[in-house]
Structure 1
Amino acid sequence: WGAKYVIIKKGEHGSLMFYDDVIFPTAGFSLEDVVDPTGAGDSFAGAMIGYLASKNSTSLSEIKKAVVYGNVLGSFAVERYGLDGLLKIKNGDITKRVKMYEKMIRF
């Protein structure tokens, strides 16, 4: 009984994912300029759910990748006001930032 996974968003400090005795901490994506943090957590959650839906899996490795995508999309959300930061990004922008983030946290 209870949640299989627990994910705690920590804003600019990243997130923590718990599964059985596994703890998967992630750092926030470092940005030079944060314009507006409003909606970053919603972007994190939406990216995670969207990623998992696209993979049709809730395996531990896919959940970890979903957390990474959540952190990355949250970072795009804070770079501009409102939805502007998200509406202008392309899949290539996301892929590039995910690769940078993976190098940063080495998961």
Structure 2
Amino acid sequence: MKAQIETVGLPYSEDAALKGDDPITLAMIKVAYSPEGREAAITATMAGEAAMAGVDPLLQVALGVDYGSHNFGTNRAGEIVGTLMRSLGYKKGPDKDLPPHCVAKTAATWV
């Protein structure tokens, strides 16, 4: 089915939860840890938003239909951004609703 969908030029994305070594997960890590991803996460945090508010739009551009709740991509992205923020010395704060432009609905804040 995947080959048939992609043969006609349409994107295909699995509905199963993403694994740690899935190409989509690896792409998420690359985006979040890129200079742009780090800057977006820190800028959102400094503005009082969840770090995901900055990273989510970058993931939308990079992954298209492969980024969403259908494959638990938003959950995986939250885990990745959380690991990034901890590595930068931040501590987890309360969860917060994300802005309407985000695919993910809620995410942790960082202090």
Higher Cα Rg, which structure = 2
Structure with the higher fraction of residues in strand conformation: 1
Structure number with the bigger relative contact order (C-alpha 8 A, sep ≥ 6) is 2
TM-score of the pair, normalised by structure 1? 0.32
TM-score of the pair, normalised by structure 2? 0.31
